[in-house]
Amino acid sequence: MRRAKTRRIIMWVFLITAIAGMIAVGCAPPSDGNGNGPTPTEEPQHGGTLRLAAAEDPVNFDDAVAAHYSTPTLKQTNEEVWTGDWAKGYAGGYGTNESPWTLAGGLNRLEHKTGALAETVEWTEDLTTITLHIRSGVHWHDKFPADGREVTAEDVAYSLERQYTDPGAYMYMTYPDTCAALTISVVDNTVVLELANPLYFVDVVSMLDYMCIYPKDALEIFGDFTDWEDSIGTGPFMFTDYVPGDSYTYVRNDNYWRTNPVGPGEGDQLPYVDEVEIYIVPDVSTTDTLLMTGQIDIGTITDYERAQAMIANVPDLNYFKYFEDYGQAAIYFRTDMQDKPYSDERVRWALSLAIDNQLILDTLYGGEGFLLDWPIGYFEPYKNAYVPLEELEDDMIEVLPGESISVADLYGYNPELAQGLLADAGYPDGFSAQIVYYDDPAGLFRDPLTMVVAMWADVGVDVDMVPKTYSEFATLSYFRSYNDMIYGWISGVGTYMKGINWWGTGMYNQSYLDDPVLNSYRDDMLGAFPNEAAMDAIHRDLMPYLLGKAYAIGLPSGYYYRFWWPWVRNYNGEASVGYYNGINFVQYIWIDQQLKEDMGY
């Protein structure tokens, strides 16, 4: 039945968009507070359905089997040890606004966290022991075999053990040395994590706001949660329906423990909405139309021209533009292979100088965005760890005998110098290579990379673009199994102090770097943790050296645009409350159903 329902919706969308001028028919303007238009209700209301869209099916439903980007449904059904504090965001205008929560997950400051399944998280001064005080009164969903029983410390310990001991788990794959140094035990209603080396403390304490907790008895029976029908958690919603290629649905968990911490609804049991329905719509034009016609309530547009069209055509929509770290990519090289050109920094400099970054920014992003976003981009909570491009103009590199350029110049366009560097490195006629990339439906990766490959051809470097599906690319990235170049994901800004974009054997060190200078900087940052101001300063100091080596090429990034209808209340563009927590902001949203009706929807 649900498949037929969604198909009828999409068919209707195509019908109405074929009729000129019908996009906003029947839509009254939202109230301006002066009696013009329907007046929103201020008191939060329970009930209603929130409708969203996703470009692809979820790949998995267990984050100990697959990484977070393959498990987009999980943070509605399952929770972590601790999480982001909604009240420290905008929170409908009633929060402290210390952390905007508008990124898809990268924000990871300790001072912005609050307890979830652990009421409190404590650690010793020497950073070798972390104690999790498990919250009482939290119950599993009323499904076999947990059957609504209370969460125990054994559940938490067992779930974490999977992450740290299973060779296929994301945590084990990304932080193998940390996992080897960790032991986990249960003492009464606490879970104790002990580390053999305090340098690994940052990995563990930050990832506690990432790894989901599952009922031990269910894991013992099912083995894992790769089947969506086995889904059991403590989250605000229960997973009730999934039709591959069509939609998936959550319903309200009436026995959820959390309440609204701030605002007119302070003390209200969460979540507010009865149901969340997510349509699977790979075609971005169809998603845009669903948003335009009010059939989905919130949407994100990553393309500049589509966003401008949405703003012009649907003035009733609320929106804001923002810079995102989730899904950003950089060009990485097999620097570890001495028979490859990329082990020579002159080649990497040449490839960087052959790219007209400003042209990419102007062509794809309306000239609005950033030229520098690797290893981190600019985000307000991390601004002191970032170095603006103009501040790199005095950091000089001797690229040829007697010829120097600044680190900032690497983000300029100098094809003549690029050809000279290639010739000096032994490639006067250039070379041929392949680059693999994720061929996403919106062209987010394909479009800039196509421009880059054309620019490289102008200096004699012939690169074959090799597209991959999402699952293919995710697997390839996970194991770093490519031969020449990869247009690969950048780890979020919240990992900056761990340097995993340029250190270690994890999946984000796609250039296979092992640089003693960088390793020393990383040790200093970890040694300063949890003094985040000190870590910021150290990272700022390392950036000129790291960028000057051109170990990876971060391409320009434009702004994203998030849109929502006025009836979506207690919302200001949030995406993830905490560290890669999916769309867990949904529990705080309520639907002003009268306003929606008054607006003609």
Q: What is the pLDDT of residue 316?
A: 97
Strand order in the sheet with 237-243: 49-54, 275-280, 247-252, 237-243
User: 0.85 cut: is pTM over it?
Assistant: yes
Q: Residues near 454 by Cβ (< 8 Å), separated by ≥ 6?
A: none
- What's the token pair of residue 442? 């919106």
DSSP conformational letter for 139:
B
Q: What is the pLDDT of residue 574?
A: 96
Q: Residues near 417 by Cβ (< 8 Å), separated by ≥ 6?
A: 350, 353, 399, 403, 405
CA angle 486, 488, 492 (to 5 degrees): 160
Q: What is the pLDDT of residue 339?
A: 94
Q: In terms of DSSP bridges, do strands 190-195 and 129-134 run parallel, antiparallel, or are they unpaired?
A: antiparallel
Return d(Cα 17, Cα 40) in angstroms, integer. Answer: 29
Return d(Cα 223, Cα 206) in angstroms, integer. Answer: 26
Chain length of the chain: 601
- What's the token pair of residue 589? 């949203």
Q: What is the pLDDT of residue 40?
A: 58
Q: What does 58-112 look like in DSSP terms, one character per residue?
A: -S-S-TTTS-GGG-TTHHHH---SEEE-GGGS-GGGTS--SS---SSS----GGG
Which residue in the block uniquely carries the two structure tokens 């030229």? 371
H-run or E-run covering 313: helix 304-313
Q: Residues near 138 by Cβ (< 8 Å), separated by ≥ 6?
A: 117, 150, 151, 234, 257
φ, ψ for residue 92, nearest 5 deg: 70, 15
- Structural domains in the chain plus CATH codes: 2-21+48-323+561-598 (3.40.190.10), 329-558 (3.10.105.10)
Q: What is the pLDDT of residue 362?
A: 97
What's the alpha-carbon Rg for the chain, to the nearest Å? 25
Q: Cα 349 vs. chain centroid, distance in angstroms?
A: 29
- What's the token pair of residue 196? 């053999």
Return d(Cα 48, Cα 593) in angstroms, integer. Answer: 7
Helix 304-313 vs helix 284-292: crossing angle, to nearest 10: 20
Residues of the chain with confidence (pLDDT) below 50: 1-38
Q: What is the pLDDT of residue 126?
A: 95
Q: What is the pLDDT of residue 262?
A: 96
Q: What is the pLDDT of residue 4?
A: 41
Question: Is the separation of the CB atoms in 170 and 67 below 8 Å?
Answer: yes
